Amino acid sequence: MLRALYDLATWLAQPLLRRKLRRRGQAEPGYLQAVDERFGRYGAAPERPQPADGAPLVWLHAVSLGETRAAAALLPALRAQWPGMRLLLTHGTATGRAEGAQLLQPGDVQLWQPWDTRAATRRFARRYRPDIGVLMETEVWPNLVRACADEGVPLVLANARLSDQSLRGAQRAGRLLKAAYAGLGAVWAQTDQDADRLRQLGAPVEGVLGNLKFDAQPSQALLAQGQAWRARAGRPVLLLASSREGEEAEFFKQIRALAGAESAPQAIEKEANEAIRPQWLVVPRHPQRFDEVAALAGQHGLTVGRRSQWADGPEPADVWLGDSLGEMPAYYALADVALLGGSFAPLGGQNLIEAAACGCPVLMGPHTFNFAQAAEQARAAGAAERVPDLAAALRRAQVLLADGAGRARMAEAGRAFARQHQGAAARTARAMALRVGAKGQHDATVAASPSCGDAPDGRSPAP
């Protein structure tokens, strides 16, 4: 009954999804691209990719930007393991799809994730029939799991994580989600804590392989670009990285409080007479909020210099706004200290591994439950510090900006921390190879069996 209600709900929600895509597409045109793919309609989509030399077709589902970057860390190991492989890459967000386009090679295919109706997921699985499906991190959908099982597609969850909050939500969903997790072929968790929580949902956890994001290498070109911008800044740069709704307003408010002035321009003027006057830099997490954050800064009396309007580098402004995609290494290289967005409101934080790998000291708030172990490991390694709120973060940042030696120690600790935890990509690729090999042996056995194909009396089996 629960499954039938879920099937009905996802079917009835399709018009609402189309309306949401049209609305999101006004700010992010990528959402208007190939909309029919989301409903399992592939008239204009490429056919199934054809691997070479007996290599597999690997389907990676990376719903958003963070998961796509994890996939980017895994792909070199997979391509080295299977030189003739083809990639089927799916996403749920426009930022993920834009980032993922850079990972494609000739013969690969990129699509939207099918909406989780029985019909759409079945059409997807039957049309593309990957040799293995890999869901990145958290994306477990009941009908998608069922469709893959029905079509004989091995489906695994890689780089898997599950917070306490997400576990409680999944448990409230009851047997529906538990059946989906139990229906996976294998789960490879990031941490022991993630593995324990996943097992509580019935997931077949086969190992703790680490976090793929440690294997991501920052672009040297972007790092060099950020360092060049930094040389031109003329003063220390304080970055609010991957900020979320509500954090920017508090950030601008605290700028005033820090200087004890009535308005943001007065605050900045007062700091000009002090030893350290930071250049403020804000990079919102979601691109559809770029204009909103620029307007918010204006409401606080701040002038804004937008990255999208820079010619040869940053232009003078009270606040620089990082309104571009794919340039976080450049922003981290530009900054002297980064405040971790998503951690100052109860949103679970953002991935701080990239900041550490770029050598940018991090100050994080109390809310890092989505990346709990990485945050604690970074703190223990000396790459990050935890503060109780955004006001405390700004006060601590002022101290760090005046302490070049302290920042240098945190920067080197961050790089060492990132190097120390590498290796998940190679481990995951090896685990996938065993899974694909097992499928090949299973398929050969099934093909030889009279129960698949013609029945013993020569009649075709029932559908």
Which residues are annotated as catalytic? 67
For residues 315 and 272, what is the distance between their CA atoms, to the nearest angstrom?
A: 18
Cα angle 439-74-48, degrees, rounded to a multiple of 5: 55
Give the chain as a 3 state SS string.
CHHHHHHHHHHHCHHHHHHHHHHHHHHCHHHHCCHHHHHCCCCCCCCCCCCCCCCCEEEEECCCHHHHHHHHHHHHHHHHHCCCCEEEEEECCHHHHHHHHHHCCCCCEEEECCCCCHHHHHHHHHHHCCCEEEEECCCCCHHHHHHHHHCCCCEEEEEECCCHHHHHHHHHCCHHHHHHHHCCCEEEECCHHHHHHHHHCCCCEEEECCCHHHHCCCCHHHHHHHHHHHHHHCCCEEEEEEECCCHHHHHHHHHHHHHCCCCHHHHHHHHHCCCCCCEEEEEECCHHHHHHHHHHHHHCCCCEEEHHHCCCCCCCCCEEECCCCCCHHHHHHHCCEEEECCCCCCCCCCCCHHHHHCCCCEEECCCCHHHHHHHHHHHHHCCEEECCCHHHHHHHHHHHHCCHHHHHHHHHHHHHHHHHCCCHHHHHHHHHHHHHHHHHHHHHHHHHCCCCCCCCCCCCCCC
Closest CA to 302 of 352, 251, 343: 251
CB of 378 closer than 8 Å to CB of 415: no
By the 10 Å C-beta count (0-12 exposed, 13-18 middle, 19+ buried), 392 is classed as middle
